[in-house]
Amino acid sequence: MNEDRIMIGDRLKHLINENGMDIDKDTLLTEFGFAKSSMQKYLTNVRRPSLEHLVNLARIFNTSVDYIVGYTDYVLDTWDYDFLKEFGEFSKEKINDYFIKRGNYTLPSSDTHYTLLFYIVFNSLSNGRTLEDFIGEEKEKFIFTVDTLVKTCMNIIDMPNSPHFSIAEAELLHENIQLYNDGDYRFTDEQIISNLEENTELEHSEKIALLKSYLQQNIATTQRAINLLNELENE
């Protein structure tokens, strides 16, 4: 008895158990053209399913023919509690292969969430281009941009794990991002001042030092803006 038949029987038993089926009671098998005796032979590895039966079995259990015959270990579509984790791991492998083959680039993190977010952000910003379409400095700059945005997203997702987290701060962050996207950057100044006003842990002298530093930076930035405005008006 060869190994692929043993694998098929084991895989079918697993799928039946995971889907909570009982072949002695369920009529689902007969609806797809299976006799109980045939299924018993498949489960005991006495007979190998035909291609037509393999396709129908994959449809019954919401999986792939590749999984049933042992070409992959990913069930993918069965409704077990590990579905999302399995789907994430499967996607991570495919995404890593994609960037290696299409751009000779290895993602800097093996974290599943990072990999999925990297692909989502890359796909959103690339306008249909693959990584191999980016060359030299442009490629480095684009990867850096995607990596920075992904890390920002991951930090936001991780916010609830902070002991200081509050949903009000998350809502404020969301509003500030919207303001930024609309070209309104006032929230940065307001946030800095609000934090200093509400902070009870900093010493009086520390607040003074921070305010002086903040004002000096803003004075310098304001002067640059005035100079640029004068140049534009005089052109």
Kindly tell me if the per-residue pLDDT of 6 is higher than 60.
no
What DSSP line would sit under 40-69, residue for residue? HHHHTTSSPPPHHHHHHHHHHTT--HHHHH
Answer for the pair 47, 41: CB distance below 8 angstroms, yes or no: yes
Q: What is the pLDDT of residues 185-227, one digit of tens each?
A: 665 667 677 777 877 787 888 888 877 887 787 788 788 888 8
Confidence category of residue 233, pLDDT binned at 50, 70, 90: confident
Answer for the pair 176, 191: CB distance below 8 angstroms, yes or no: yes
CA angle 62, 86, 50 (to 5 degrees): 35
What is the per-residue pLDDT for 215? 79
Q: What is the pLDDT of residues 112-128, one digit of tens each?
A: 999 999 999 999 999 98
What is the per-residue pLDDT for 152? 92
Q: How many angstroms separate the CA atoms of 3 and 133, rounded?
A: 44
Cβ-in-10-Å burial (0-12, 13-18, 19+) of 146 comes to: buried
Nearest to 125 by CA among 161, 160, 108, 150: 150
Q: Which residues contact 228 (CB under 8 A, 6 or more apart)?
A: none
The single-letter code of the amino acid at 191 is Q
% helix, strand, coil for the chain, step of 5? 70, 0, 30
Q: Which of 119-123, 148-152, 161-165 has the lowest mean pLDDT?
A: 161-165
What is the per-residue pLDDT for 210? 78
Nearest to 150 by CA among 177, 122, 180, 110: 122
Is domain 3-69 given the CATH code 3.40.50.720 in the classification?
no
